[in-house]
Structure 1
C-alpha cells in the first residue's frame, strides 16, 4: 500500500462559505462603525487567523479584538437565519469518500476555530473522513507551516508523501513553507492567477480534474 496524505483546507475548498463570511464581516464592520470592507480585499485574507484578517482589513481601527468578537457574533447569528446556507461544493464529499476508500490518510488544516469546525460537522457528515484536524486554535496560523507539520507528525507522513488542497494563497504558501506538494482549486476565494503566482504546483477548476491530479500523485508516489 502506498502511503499518501491529503491535507485539506475547509472554507472555499470543501464548503462554500463565501456568503456567511462576507455577510458576517460586513455586519461586524457596521456594528463597529466602520465602512463595509470590499469583497476583493476580504477574499484575499481568507485562511488567515481572525484577528489578522481584521487587522488587515481595518489597519487603523483601535479595537481589533472587539472587531473580531463582533464578527464571531455576526457569524453565529447568520447561521441562525432561515435563509442560511453553507453548502458543500459538488463533488467534495464524493472525493473525500474515494480517497478514504483508496487508503489515503486525510487531514484538515483550516483557519476556522474548533467551534466553527464542529458547526460544519453538524451540517454535513464529514468528520468520518478526517484522521487528524488542525485549526487556528492550535498554534501559528497560515502561512506558517505549523498545521501541515502537525498533521504529518500525527499520521507519520513524510513531506514527499503529502499534499495540500486549498483555494487561497495562504494555503499554497503554507504548503510551500512545509515543503509539500501544493494543489490550488479555483472555485473558492482565490483566483487561479493568484494561486499560480504564489507557487501552486498544479491548479484545478473542478473536482473531476482534481481527482485526476490526486491519482497522478498517488501513482508517482508508488514509483518512489
Structure 2
C-alpha cells in the first residue's frame, strides 16, 4: 500500500477526511487504475517467449507474436484456450496454461531476463501521488507475479489497491475495477482506467469509468479504439495531459506538489 495510507486508517474515516476540507468544500477522490503488462512494464518479449515455449511443449509447434499479443490481459486459461486449436479441450487448455507458467518461471532464472518499466512511467506515478490521486492496479496477472514485478521495480509504494485475477473474474468483466472503487471509496465518475488493450477499455466501460488507452503495448490503436477508449495516447506526456484534463473535469485539478 502506498505509504500505508489505507492500511493505517479505517476506510470510512479515510474517505470522510479526504472528501471534506477544513473550509467545508467537497473534494472528490480521484482514482487512476492501471493495467500492468504493456502499460507499466514492457513485457512483450518475455510473454511471447513463454507462450511460444508452452505451445511447443504441448506439441503445437510454437506460436508467433501477432497471435500472442491478441490475448494478453485475459485470465491465463481463457487466453490459451483462445489461441489453441478448436478441438483442444478444457483439460489440455489447463495443461497448456501450466506450461506457460513453467516457461515464465524458467525465464526469470535465466541471464538477461528483463521486464523494464516504460520510460516516463515512474515520473507519472510520482506526480499523480503528489497531486493526491489514489492509485490502483487491475491486471490479468496473478498476485504472485504482480508482487514479483512490483518488488523488483519498487512500485508497491505508489498504489492503494491491487486487483488481480486471483480474486475472481478477469477482463473484460468489470469486477476488478468495481472492487478497486469500493476499496478506495471512489465514485466511478471520478476514476480512470489506463491500459494498452481492448480488454482494459471494455472492462473500464463495463464499470462506468473513464478509459484512457495507450499505444505502446500489445494492442493497436485501432483495436483499443474499437473497444471504446475515450482517448488514446502515444507517450506519457500525452497521458499526463489527459489525466490533468480529467482531474479538471471532476473539479479536482491540483498544482504540482499540492494535495488534492
Q: TM-score range by the shorter chain?
A: over 0.9
1:176 is aligned to 2:205:
yes
1:32 is aligned to 2:61:
no
1:165-201 superposed Cα distances (whole Å, 9 cap, x missing partner) = 0000000000011111000000000111111111100
1:138-168 superposed Cα distances (whole Å, 9 cap, x missing partner) = 1100000000000000001111101100000
1:139 is aligned to 2:165:
no
Stretches of structure 2 lacking an aligned partner (at least 5 in a row): 1-26, 253-260
Which of the residues 34, 52, 67 maps onto 1:8?
34
Which of the residues 109, 114, 118 maps onto 1:80?
109
Aligned counterpart, 2:228: 199
SS at structure 2 position matched to 1:44: helix
Aligned counterpart, 2:20: none
- Using structure 2 for the length normalisation, give the TM-score: 0.84
Q: How does 1:34-53 map to 2 (within 5 A)?
A: 34-53=60-79
1:119 is aligned to 2:119:
no
Q: How does 1:147-162 map to 2 (within 5 A)?
A: 147-162=176-191
Compute the RMSD of aligned alpha carbons.
Answer: 1.2
Aligned counterpart, 1:166: 195
Counterpart contact for 1:183–1:204, Cα < 8 Å? yes
1:31-60 superposed Cα distances (whole Å, 9 cap, x missing partner) = 111122232221111110000011000032
**Distance in 2, Cα, partners of 1:41 & 1:177:** 25
Aligned counterpart, 1:18: 44
Aligned counterpart, 1:68: 97
Stretches of structure 1 lacking an aligned partner (at least 5 in a row): none
SS at structure 2 position matched to 1:163: strand
SS at structure 1 position matched to 2:36: coil
Aligned length: 224
Aligned counterpart, 2:237: 208
Structure 1 runs (4+) deviating above 3 angstroms are none
**Distance in 1, Cα, partners of 2:151 & 2:31:** 25
SS at structure 1 position matched to 2:194: strand
Counterpart contact for 1:176–1:199, Cα < 8 Å? yes
